[in-house]
Amino acid sequence: MGITLIVVPHTLDYDEFQNYIEEEYKKLTGKEIKTKYKYNWKTFKRENLDLSKFL
């Protein structure tokens, strides 16, 4: 169905989430994420976008 599930270990710090997800995605799919934005995972925000609005 084209869905890639990435389980993020609870032992990671917030600032490690994004790199872990990007690395796991590459391992699982063989593809790199083309558009990379840095997110603040504590607040679910990136510049000009508030992800909490979608939750």
Q: 45 lies in a domain?
A: yes
Residue 25's pLDDT is 92
Residue 26's pLDDT is 93
Q: 46 lies in a domain?
A: yes
In this prediction, the residues of the chain whose per-residue pLDDT falls under 50 are none
Q: 36 lies in a domain?
A: yes
Cα 52 to Cα 44: distance, rounded to the nearest angstrom:
6
Residue 7's pLDDT is 93
Tell me the pTM. Answer: 0.64
Residue 41's pLDDT is 67
User: How many domains does one find in the chain?
Assistant: 1
Residue 53's pLDDT is 61
Domain that holds residue 43: 31-55
Cα 54 to Cα 19: distance, rounded to the nearest angstrom:
22
